[in-house]
Amino acid sequence: MTGKTTSSSSHSQNISFIQRFGSALFYGICSGLITVVNKLVLTSYGFPSFQLLAIGQLIVSIIVLYVARLLNIVHFPQFSRHIFLKIMPLPIFFFGNLLFGLGGTQAVSLPMFTALRRFSIWTTMIGEQFILREKQSSTTRRSVYLMLIGAVIASLDDLTFNWFGYIFLTINNVCTTAQGVVMKQKLVNKDFNQNGLLFYNSCIILGPTILLALCTEDLNKVWNYNRYCDIGFIFAFFFSLLMGFLLNYSTMLCTNYNSPLTTTVVGACKNLFVTYLGMFIGGDYIFSFVNFIGLNISATGSILYSWVTFTQKTSSKITNISEPSTVISEKQKDE
Terminal alpha carbon distance of the chain: 16
Per-residue pLDDT, averaged over 109-138, amounts to: 74
Quick one: pLDDT band at residue 319, thresholds 50, 70, 90?
very low
175 or 311: which leads in pLDDT:
175
Cβ proximity of 67 and 201 under 8 Å:
no
Cα separation of 293 and 289, whole Å? 6
% of the chain beyond a pLDDT of 90: 1
305 or 132: which leads in pLDDT:
305
132 or 247: which leads in pLDDT:
247
Give the pLDDT of residue 144.
81
Quick one: pLDDT band at residue 118, thresholds 50, 70, 90?
confident
Give the pLDDT of residue 141.
80
Mean pLDDT of the chain: 75
Quick one: pLDDT band at residue 54, thresholds 50, 70, 90?
confident
pLDDT of residue 251 exceeding 70, the answer is yes
Per-residue pLDDT, averaged over 5-10, amounts to: 40
> Using one digit for the tens of pLDDT, what is the confidence trace for 155-207?
787 777 777 778 888 888 888 888 777 777 776 656 667 777 788 888 888 88
Task: For 42-53, give one letter per residue: b (16+ CB within 10 A) or e.
Answer: bbbbebbbbbbb
Quick one: pLDDT band at residue 47, thresholds 50, 70, 90?
confident
pLDDT of residue 333 exceeding 60, the answer is no
pLDDT of residue 295 exceeding 50, the answer is yes
Evaluate if pTM is beyond 0.85: no
Quick one: pLDDT band at residue 15, thresholds 50, 70, 90?
very low
Per-residue pLDDT, averaged over 25-48, amounts to: 83
% of the chain beyond a pLDDT of 70: 76
pLDDT of residue 9 exceeding 50, the answer is no
CA 326 to chain centre: 39
Q: Count of CB atoms within 10 A of residue 199's CB?
A: 24
Give the pLDDT of residue 126.
79
Per-residue pLDDT, averaged over 28-32, amounts to: 83
Alpha helix ranges (H) inside the chain? 2-39, 50-70, 81-87, 90-107, 110-117, 119-130, 138-156, 163-188, 194-214, 218-223, 231-257, 260-269, 271-277, 289-334
Quick one: pLDDT band at residue 312, thresholds 50, 70, 90?
low
pLDDT of residue 10 exceeding 60, the answer is no
288 or 326: which leads in pLDDT:
288
> Using one digit for the tens of pLDDT, what is the confidence trace for 68-105?
888 888 777 777 777 777 778 888 888 888 778 777 77
Triad 231, 236, 237: Cα angle to 5°: 100
Cα separation of 199 and 61, whole Å? 7
Please tell me whether the peptide bond between 77 and the residue prior to it is cis, using omega within 30 degrees of 0: no
Quick one: pLDDT band at residue 330, thresholds 50, 70, 90?
very low
282 or 295: which leads in pLDDT:
295
Cβ proximity of 48 and 218 under 8 Å:
yes
Cα separation of 36 and 79, whole Å? 35
